[in-house]
Structures are given as structure tokens and as C-alpha cells.
Amino acid sequence: MIREEQTTIGFHVWGAEKLSEEKLTVLRLDNDGITYAMAVTEEGYLLHVYYGKRCGDDDLTYLLHLDEGNYTPQHHNRERMGFMDSRPFEYPCHGIGDFREPCFMILDGDGMSACDLRYKNHRIVSGKPELKQKGVSCIPATFAKEDEAETLIITMEDEHAGLTAELSYTIFRDRNVITRAVKVYNRGYGDVRLQRVLSACVELPGMDYEMITLNGNWARECAVSRVPLHAGKQLTDSLRGVSSAQHNPFMALCTPGTDEEHGEVYAFHLVYSGNFLAEAEVTGGKQTRTVIGINPYDFSWLLRPEEEFQTPEAVLVYSEEGLGGMSRTFHDLYRSHLIRSYWKDRERPILINNWEATYFNFDQDKLYAIAEEASKLGIEMLVMDDGWFGCRNFDDNSLGDWVVNEEKLKGGLKPLTDRINALGMKFGIWFEPEMVSDNSELYRAHPEWAIQIIGRDLTQARAQYVLDYSNAEVRDYVYGMLTNILNSANIEYVKWDMNRALTEVGSTSLPRKRQRELWHRYVLGVYDLMNRLTTDYPKLLLENCSSGGGRFDPAMLYFSPQIWASDDTDAIERLKIQYGTSYCYPVSAMGAHVSDCPNHLLGRTTPFDTRGDVALVGTFGYELDVTRIPAEDRAKIPGQVAKYHRFHKLMSDGDQYRLGNLFKDNTYDAWMFVAKDKSEALLTYVQVLGKPSEPAKRLYLRGLDADRKYFCEETGQTLSGKTLAACGIDVGLRGDFVSKTFYFKAEEA
């Protein structure tokens, strides 16, 4: 999969008559689907040669055009700057003649920022080593066994600065995936400040690409944006301290005309939960440089002698089968090589959450009444949301005081939990452990534990501040409170919420020279606490949430197999949110619930069946007062529960195909899941807006075995996969906001 080759390029130097030679070391990563190639020049420059569809075992270094012009400084230093500002570097540095977007920038003891990393050596290891940094307990990343991947580690060195950087490249044996990460060591005698240390750079030929990003806001996460590249820089990023609802840490470049089935896609995803940058720069030479990593804005990291810094991992996916191929690659990778939870391959319990049912107005009897009715309908877990602790009757107090409010829950959690368990149901609970209210016992005792700049007013959001998770004392205290609660009763699920961005970013515990490290140290502190939680409670089902999808990123999947996709539970709005989220994330990771109507956010009323079909494309649950909804709706819950149990494995393990796109056509959405062995498929159609005097909507199915016959339960027809793809099926529905599902079963051969 990874190999080294030697080659020589001949060229003429300006003003010389005879031919000169440049010896190159070529490093190639290949599997059946992709090739990634690099070349090392005699002077130690590491150049990008090729990334894309699997190519032949030929010498690819002609793509570097080193034999053209006067751009080989080893033999002609007169044009070193021309070489530096035009060559495709694997890990470009700042200050030495490359004026394009750099990956690496420092500030040394003399106040200088130039750096020059050159190739020193490389090694190849089987499998995929963990990402590690001294003093850091956990850095989330993909994983693989020795027979599933190989990793190339290239050591680069800047002798002047005393820095060594290890560039890590992992290629998976059976997936079109390369992962990238960088580890920096200070081997010198003085302090160095890292100003910019990105995870990956890829140079793509030409500039004829379209850039796809996932943008939005609270309650409208992961909206798909697609624009053509132009000269200069285009980017997506976050400066909020979290990956954010505004911009997911994802970027894809695709060839014009790329759709779900056709076209080339180069996708980049950062396994990180804080400030990120993903950028494409069309250079003066009309080439495209892409970079991704920790956002360098307001970031720096003091690296003392013998200290090290590990970047987060970047996931690179290549698809020649359009956006659908890209998504299915991400889905398979994350299901098999990122999510590590006990629950990752298990059917999740169907839950009912009391938030939209009661908000803060509940007690033990009210929760039990909801659970009692829910248990009769087949719902398997009650989740108690915000309002159970401290003096929490509104959202302006008590965060940080993780002790039971016994005015609501007499005797603590155990009596309630025991009653819920006696119904045959599991019990779950909501926390927001990264936050503190100014009106709380914790803040009154330890105001210095909030992120702050001493002397400046603190900006409130939702009447709360952010705890300084760079401080181990803070983390230990909070973790002690969480474990006291978890150990007090049989709690099998935790919803971990995070409801605001970071402001006045300063720490009372960090020294002055390390204050700009807080952005990153905060994220590492969150990882530390989540890792402790999932290690100490290995069977706990952890669901992440951040005002909905404000921290829906790959790193969170490392700790929690599911993430609440959005606080917007309206079924029609969820179509766009879940469509965009599916670009990178499998449906097994998307928290989705059937909620009440009129919808609490929009006031829209949609059929109960439609709400169920849309929520089925996720972890599935309910967000309503089951004791008060119309009897007609309540009577449909057992059927929805049975539908989830029947199709859960097909949807969580199968291949997803998007057949509709509300960003282009606001009249309908449709999708299907096909089993890996092509033995069955489930098609869902949602008619958003009905139209008069038009024929029934026809859907052309994808992913089926062309030569097998499929029986459709709903139509009674048996048709070949080839016919279903070429001729489709007619969906006969009338009205707005209505839905229908179709199940296809392959006939035995």
C-alpha cells in the first residue's frame, strides 16, 4: 500500500549547455481506489505529485514540471523564489518565498517568523498509531488494525529553529481515505511559539472546481452551500470555540456538474471540536491549494525545549462517484473506524425526552406519568432534561450545582429511576457540565473558574458563563459532581449539552505567555472529561448536543455514537438539516425525534406519520407529552416503534442514497437505504408541496443489484434492479407534508 521509489529528472539550467539531473525519492500510497504520491528533492523539499483516482505504477514526477524553466534551486539558486512560490509543497512554511497560504508559521526567540522544514527520513508502520501528546489524555482520531491500514510517517526538520515535524499519512486498505496529522517537537535550546500549525495541505491541479460547505445557524444547521472557485482565497471557519452550527469543519471541492452519482470530489473533514479553518486558494499560477486545521486566528502555542504539539486529524476522501460516493465513504469510515462506543453497532433504545413536554415544569409524578404511558406504546427509555438540579426553574440559574432538586424529585433520583426501571424502561439524564450560572453556588464559591479576562465584564449568553476546562482542578470538581449523580441511580444515558460560544477568552490558571493556548486547551479539557466518562462508564449511551448541532463534528463521534442534530424538530425543516448532515455523517449518529404539533419553534402542523418517517432517519425518539397528544396520534406510536425495530439495522449499516434535494427543488425530498449485500432496500418519499394537474412523482432507484428481482410490499410489483433504476416507480400522494415508505426485498436466487 505504501512504497518508496527512486527516479531522476533531466533538465537544462539557464545559461548552461549540458543537461543536469535532479534525483528524486518518490513516496506513494495506493489502494484499489486511490493514489497519493509525493516526491523529495535533493535539497529535501517535499513536493505533492498526485492525489486522486488509482493510477498505474508509472513514474508520476513529470507532473511536477521540474524540467521546465529555471525552477530547480539545487542547480540554479538564481530563481529559488520562483521555485518556492510555484511548487506544490506538501507542508508549506511561512517566510521563505512561498507567498501562498502556509500550513506552518512560528515565532522564535528572536521574534522571527520564517521557518523551513526539510525532509529528513521516513518510516512505514502497519495499522494506524494513536495520536498522542505528552500531558494530553486523549486526542480523538480514526483507528485501524494492522491489516486494515498502513501509515507513512515523514520526519521534517528545520535545523535553524531546532524543530522537527512528523507528517503522518494513513491509507485505509478498502476505503478511498487518507488521514493526515502533524506532530511538532522542539529539539532546540530555546522557546518557540507556534503561530500556525495546520493538519494538511493538498495541491490540486487547475482551478475549475466548485466548493461545497455546510453552513447555517441555530435551528438550521448544515445547509449546503455550493459556489465556483475564483482567484484568491475562499474559506469556511469557526472562531466560537466550538466547531459551530454556523460552519461545519468540512469542505469539498468537486468538478463542475458533479451530482449524487457522477463527478470527482475531494473532501476534507477535521476531527476537531474547536476553532477550525478549511480554505481553498486559487493561486496566481491557476492551481488550487487546500489547507485544513486549527484556526490560526488568535491562536499560539508556546513550545519549550523537549515539548511537543499534536495537531488534530484531517480526513481526506476522494470520490469519482459523485457526492453520494463521498458520503458513503465517510459513513463507512466513521461507523467502523471512529465511533468506539459500546453502542456503535447496537440498536439504540427508543427514548422519550420531556423537554418539549414540560420544559422546567415537572416533578416525579409528572415524569412517571409520561413514562408509564410511553412504556405501554413500546418506548424504551425516559430522558429527564433540564430543570432537575439546584434551584433550576428557569434558565438563569444553578448551572454548576449538579445536585438533585428534591422539591421536584423527593428522595433524589433513585426512587424515580427505580419506578421507571420497573416499567421495563431505561432512564437517562441531561447535563450541561461545561457551564456555570452566575447565580449558582459554584460561581459564588469559585468565580475564578469561569473563562474570563480579569477586569473586563463577562459576556453572558443564556445567563451563563463557560468553565475553564484548561484547569484540571475545574475538570476534577465537575467530574466528581457528575459521578455522584451517575452513581446515585441506574442512569444509562447522558445527554451532554453545551449552549454558548466562548468570549473574553482568558484563564486565571494559565500563565501570561500561554493565554492564547486557551482556545485549544479548552477543547482538550472537554476531550479529557468525555474520555474519563466513557472509560469509567463503558456501557453509558452518551449523546452530544450543543444548542442542537453546534458541535456536530467527527471528534464528538469518538466519544458519543449519536449527536442531537438540531433543536428544530419540525419535520419539514429537518429534511434540509438531515440532508446536509448526511454529507459526512451516518444516520446512526443523527439524533432525531418526533415532536408535538403545532411545532414549538415554527408553529407548523405536519401529519404524525410524516414526523415519524423523518425522525426514522436518525436515532429515533419522541419529544412530546405522550399523555396529552391526540388519541389518533398516540395510536400510531406502536407502529412507528415496530418500523424502527424492523429497519434499524438496514438504515444504520446500509448504504444511503439521496434521491431528492430541497435546496434545488422545494416540492419533495426522498432517500433510500440499501443493504450491503443488496438484499433489501427502504425508500422514503416526503411530498412537501402538492401541485395540481401534474403526473405522480417518479423516483429512479439507486444502489440495487441490476440483475436481481425485487418485490415491493407497498405496490405488490416485482421488478428488476435494472428496471427500477431506469424506469423508477410512481409515488401517488396528494397534499402537503405527506410521506410514504416503500420496502423492497430481493427474491432468492
CA dist 628 and 405 (Å) reads 25
Coil, strand or helix at 11: strand
Q: What is the pLDDT of residue 16?
A: 47
Residues 639 and 741 in one domain: no
Q: Is residue 470 in a domain? A: yes
Query: Residue 50: which of 265, 207, 205 has the closest Cα?
Result: 205
Q: What is the mean pLDDT of residues 254-279?
A: 98
Residues 428 and 576 in one domain: yes
Q: What is the pLDDT of residue 75?
A: 62
Q: What is the pLDDT of residue 79?
A: 73
CB burial of residue 507 (10 Å; 0-12, 13-18, 19+):
buried
Q: Is residue 269 in a domain? A: yes
Q: Is residue 38 in a domain? A: yes
What element of type H or E holds 417?
Answer: helix 413-422
What element of type H or E holds 614?
Answer: helix 608-615
Residue at 368: amino acid letter = Y
Coil, strand or helix at 314: strand
201 has a pLDDT exceeding 90? yes
CB burial of residue 361 (10 Å; 0-12, 13-18, 19+):
exposed
In this prediction, what percent of the chain has a pLDDT beyond 90?
93
Count of domains forming the chain: 3
Binning pLDDT at 50, 70 and 90, where does residue 749 land? Answer: confident
Q: What is the pLDDT of residue 86?
A: 85
Residues 62 and 32 in one domain: yes
Terminal C-alpha separation, the chain: 36
Residues 72 and 15 in one domain: yes
Q: What share of the chain is helix, strand, coil (3-state, %, to 5)?
A: 20, 30, 45
Q: What is the pLDDT of residue 726?
A: 98
CA dist 528 and 467 (Å) reads 14
Q: Is residue 346 in a domain? A: no
Q: Which three cell numbers stand for residue 744?
A: 423492497
Residue at a domain's end among 337, 360, 393: 337
**pLDDT tens string 276-332:** 999 999 999 999 999 999 999 999 999 999 999 999 999 999 999 999 999 999 999
DSSP label of 272: -
Residues 437 and 564 in one domain: yes
Beta bridge partners of 210: 228, 254
**Residue 584, domain CATH:** 3.20.20.70
**Residue 248, domain CATH:** 2.70.98.60
Q: What is the pLDDT of residue 239?
A: 98
- 422 contacts: CB under 8 Å, gap ≥ 6: none
**Boundaries of domain holding 573:** 351-653
Q: Is residue 342 in a domain? A: no
Active-site positions?
497, 567
Phi-psi region of 274 (alpha: psi -120 to 50; beta: other; left: phi over 0): beta
Q: Is residue 663 in a domain? A: no
DSSP label of 93: B
Interior CA angle at 556 toward 550 and 562, to 5°?
85
Residue at 322: amino acid letter = G
Residues 253 and 371 in one domain: no
CA dist 305 and 186 (Å) reads 5
- Catalogue the E-assigned strands of 506-611: 541-544, 562-564, 590-591, 593-595
Q: What is the pLDDT of residue 309?
A: 98
Residues 332 and 360 in one domain: no
State the alpha helices, DSSP H only, in 338-412: 355-358, 364-376
Residue at 174: amino acid letter = D
Residues 333 and 426 in one domain: no
CA dist 8 and 618 (Å) reads 54
CB burial of residue 632 (10 Å; 0-12, 13-18, 19+):
exposed
pTM of the model: 0.97
Mean residue pLDDT across the chain: 95
**pLDDT tens string 47-64:** 999 999 999 999 999 999
Residues 377 and 514 in one domain: yes
Pairing assessment for the beta strands 593-595 and 621-623 based on DSSP bridges: parallel
Residue at 501: amino acid letter = A
14 has a pLDDT exceeding 70? no
Q: What is the pLDDT of residue 9?
A: 74
Q: What is the mean pLDDT of residues 92-105?
A: 96
**C-beta of residue 533 within 8 angstroms of C-beta of residue 494:** yes
130 has a pLDDT exceeding 90? yes
CA dist 357 and 382 (Å) reads 12
Residues 172 and 292 in one domain: yes
Backbone angles phi, psi at 183, to 5 degrees: -125, 125
DSSP states along 20-87: EEEEEEEEEEE-SSEEEEEEE-TT--EEEEEEEE---SS--GGGG-TTSTT--TTT-GGGHHHHHTTS
Residues 576 and 675 in one domain: no
How many other C-beta atoms can be found within 10 angstroms of the C-beta atom of residue 409?
Answer: 20
Q: Given the C-alpha cell 407534508, which residue does it identify? A: 737
Binning pLDDT at 50, 70 and 90, where does residue 19 land? Answer: low
Q: What is the pLDDT of residue 630?
A: 97
Residue at a domain's end among 620, 653, 686: 653
Binning pLDDT at 50, 70 and 90, where does residue 69 land? Answer: low
Residues 144 and 269 in one domain: yes
**pLDDT tens string 478-496:** 999 999 999 999 999 999 9
Query: Residue 345: which of 652, 565, 555, 592 has the closest Cα?
Result: 652
**pLDDT tens string 141-199:** 999 999 999 999 999 999 999 999 999 999 999 999 999 999 999 999 999 999 999 99
**pLDDT tens string 159-170:** 999 999 999 999
**C-beta of residue 327 within 8 angstroms of C-beta of residue 583:** yes
State the alpha helices, DSSP H only, in 423-553: 441-445, 472-486, 518-536
Residue at a domain's end among 337, 372, 396: 337
Q: What is the pLDDT of residue 106?
A: 98
**Residue 736, domain CATH:** 2.60.40.1180
Q: Is residue 343 in a domain? A: no
* Burial annotation 414-453 (CB, 10 A radius, 16+ → b, else e): eebbebbbebebbbbbbbbbbbbbbbbbbbeebeebbbbe
Phi-psi region of 441 (alpha: psi -120 to 50; beta: other; left: phi over 0): alpha
**C-beta of residue 544 within 8 angstroms of C-beta of residue 560:** yes
Q: Is residue 344 in a domain? A: no
